Structure 1
Amino acid sequence: MSAKSNVTRRCHWVPQSYLKGFAADERKPPRIWRLSNESGDAELKRIDKVAVRNHLYVVEGDDGQRDDAQEKRFSELEQFFSSSPWHSLQTRYVDLSNQAIRKMVALLAATMFVRNPAHFELSKRIHRSFVDAFTGPRGLPDAVVIGGQRVELDHATWSEHANASEDDLKRSWFDIMNSCGDVAQMFLEMRWAMVASDEPVFVTSDQPITFLHPDLRFRGIQNPQTSVLFPISPTRILCMDHRHGEPDNQYYAAQHNGAAINLLIWRNALEHIFSSREPHEVCQQILAIEDDLQIPDDEISNGADGA
């Protein structure tokens, strides 16, 4: 068998080892409920058939062979989802101030954020916008100001940058993913709290790291009003925020059968939510608390289409 035939083809941006915690059954491979926020009915799908894209983390080398080294790096990191500390976090009342636990979770959350294809699409849009802005009769400036900082531009490499291929942009994306320690550190510096339920009520999605801000836009992780949701299991949701005047590392009981949190996860999904229980029940509970949450009808109906 050639080396090429051993290259990973199906790349899961939401790890199967993570999704197993939300499985609806114990078959092999396990199934999970999937519901689209665009169209279609709820489906009971094999976990290996969801949140997957061919060659997402694979590029072609100079020799014409596909290289899946990035996928293999993820496989090593994903072993955390099978570890005893992660299993304890899913069901027990773990000390959230434990630095080993915090570092593991922060790294997993940071990686799951940047490895999502939505992050790659954003990178491509930024690249295209940057190239378009400086391609024209005025030419390339010597420097630009980004986020208040002056960034020098190398004219010698501009052509290479401007004409970057899909694989070139992927390699830049891989560099970001492999150096996401800064993102993990931002998560570590936030206040942590866990919302816990005695019953399996919480869902996750094809974009598990949910950023929240009062004006409904992503304002950066370090924005004082930014908070983050990370579904750990059907009974645990990690919440991170900058409210350092509030108690840290606490557990709080879930309200409304987890419906309020599930709505936020639903709205943040690229397309699908994943659940251990039938999604119609999830959506009915969201609709049932509409008045309590004072959410406009159109926002509820947009989320419940197809339910």
Structure 2
Amino acid sequence: MAEQTTKRCHWVPKAYLKAFASDEKRKKIWRLSNTAGDPELKPIEKVAVSFNLYVPLDPETKKRDDSFERKLGELEQWFSEPIWKLFQTEMIDLGDESIRKLVALLVATMMLRNPRYFEMCKSIHEGIRGMILAAGEIPTSVESKGVIRSVNPASWPSYRDATEEDLKRNWIDSINNATRYATMLMEMRWSVVFSDEPVFITTDAPVTFLHPSHKFRGIKDAETMVAFPISPTRLLYMDRLFHEPGNQYYRLNGDGSKHNLHLWRNALEYMFTHRQPDDVRASMNAEAERQEYAAT
């Protein structure tokens, strides 16, 4: 019997979401959309999932290749390891190099594997394609969003006519380079905000970038901060505030609404939480009103 090809691809790993589950069996989670609809108690199996997301169609065999999806599955096993479970509840050594490597790779991979970055890759491709078509000739290089990319005239036809599946394979190649971004994260200052009570949410885009300009300026920008919820009681921050002590744990001041609001604003669409989302939303709305009042 032929081996079955994986079709259901979770861009937020199920093993990660179990920490935010609402039931003792860790199978269900509260979900709330930022567009419309009421809160839903959903099986974790059915959230942040898409068919064939990491399973491109092979142009020669006309079959889908799920080797990368299986590779991601192997990496996701770390969310079930004892060290990650300790990270969810205890104060582990944030300066331990082996821990930093593991966490940085998981965070970098979750950032790149998100559908948001596939859309970004497609947008960049279409922008470059449009510029070359408008110019009427093939240049030796093009600039897109401040990045100069060389152009090989021989590869232009395949670039011009790239299909969705072609672009998906290119995106998967970029995810395979997650170690590059993991290295950048390791070089940042790490700290964790912790709470005695479970208060933090996560989303369908858990890796959150914060910047005073409210725009993404890149990981290397001196003012960029990265937030990543580890569990309902642990929220990891990475920044370049090297004048402050690193590898510290800071007790939460307040009810967590300020932190949750940052995470919620970064979501593709959904909030995931262990508690009734209406309560979370109410506290975040109150926090947003306080911020608007303070800004006036």
TM over 0.5: yes
What's the counterpart of residue 305 of structure 1?
none
CA distance, structure 1, for counterparts of residue 43 and residue 172 of structure 2: 28
What's the counterpart of residue 55 of structure 1?
52
1:177-233 deviation line (CA, Å, top 9, x unaligned): 011111001100111000000011000000000000111110000101110100000
Q: 1:296 offset after TM fit, Å? A: 8.3
CA distance, structure 2, for counterparts of residue 44 and residue 23 of structure 1: 10
Structure-to-structure mapping, 1:1-20, within 5 angstroms? 1-3=1-3, 6-20=4-18
Q: 1:253 offset after TM fit, Å? A: 1.0
Letter in 1 for 2:167: L
Structure-to-structure mapping, 1:180-199, within 5 angstroms? 180-199=178-197
CA distance, structure 1, for counterparts of residue 66 and residue 185 of structure 2: 28
What's the counterpart of residue 160 of structure 2?
162
Q: 1:288 offset after TM fit, Å? A: 3.3
Q: Which structure 1 residue ranges, 5 or more long, are not aligned?
A: 298-307
CA distance, structure 1, for counterparts of residue 5 and residue 19 of structure 2: 27
Which range is displaced more, 284-293 or 76-85?
Answer: 284-293
- Tell whether the 8 Å contact from 1:59 to 1:67 is kept in structure 2 after alignment: yes
1:211-263 deviation line (CA, Å, top 9, x unaligned): 00111110000101110100000000000111000010000111221110001
Q: Please tell me whether residue 293 in structure 1 is matched to residue 252 in structure 2.
A: no
- Tell whether the 8 Å contact from 1:256 to 1:289 is kept in structure 2 after alignment: no
Q: 1:146 offset after TM fit, Å? A: 5.9
Which range is displaced more, 286-295 or 135-144?
Answer: 286-295
CA distance, structure 1, for counterparts of residue 212 and residue 30 of structure 2: 30
Which range is displaced more, 143-152 or 93-102?
Answer: 143-152
SS in 2 for 1:134: helix
Check 1:295–1:158 CA distance in 2 against 1; reply closer, same or farther (3 A cut): farther
Q: Please tell me whether residue 83 in structure 1 is matched to residue 77 in structure 2.
A: no
Structure-to-structure mapping, 1:1-307, within 5 angstroms? 1-3=1-3, 6-27=4-25, 30-61=27-58, 62-136=60-134, 138-145=136-143, 151-290=149-288, 292-294=290-292
Q: 1:43 offset after TM fit, Å? A: 0.5
Check 1:283–1:248 CA distance in 2 against 1; reply closer, same or farther (3 A cut): same
- Tell whether the 8 Å contact from 2:128 to 2:144 is kept in structure 1 after alignment: no
- Tell whether the 8 Å contact from 2:124 to 2:144 is kept in structure 1 after alignment: no
Q: 1:294 offset after TM fit, Å? A: 3.7
TM-score, scaled relative to structure 2: 0.95
Letter in 1 for 2:180: D
Check 1:244–1:159 CA distance in 2 against 1; reply closer, same or farther (3 A cut): same
CA distance, structure 2, for counterparts of residue 64 and residue 273 of structure 1: 37
Task: Give the paired residue count.
Answer: 294
Q: 1:289 offset after TM fit, Å? A: 3.2
CA distance, structure 1, for counterparts of residue 183 and residue 159 of structure 2: 29
SS in 2 for 1:144: strand
- Tell whether the 8 Å contact from 1:36 to 1:273 is kept in structure 2 after alignment: yes
1:133-153 deviation line (CA, Å, top 9, x unaligned): 001463111223567775432
RMSD of Structure 2 on Structure 1 (CA) = 1.7
SS in 1 for 2:9: strand
Check 1:234–1:295 CA distance in 2 against 1; reply closer, same or farther (3 A cut): farther
CA distance, structure 2, for counterparts of residue 137 and residue 40 of structure 1: 46
SS in 2 for 1:239: strand
TM-score, scaled relative to structure 1: 0.92
Q: 1:292 offset after TM fit, Å? A: 4.2
Check 1:95–1:148 CA distance in 2 against 1; reply closer, same or farther (3 A cut): same
CA distance, structure 2, for counterparts of residue 217 and residue 150 of structure 1: 21
CA distance, structure 2, for counterparts of residue 136 and residue 217 of structure 1: 29
SS in 2 for 1:274: strand
SS in 2 for 1:101: helix
Q: 1:287 offset after TM fit, Å? A: 2.9
- Tell whether the 8 Å contact from 1:16 to 1:47 is kept in structure 2 after alignment: yes
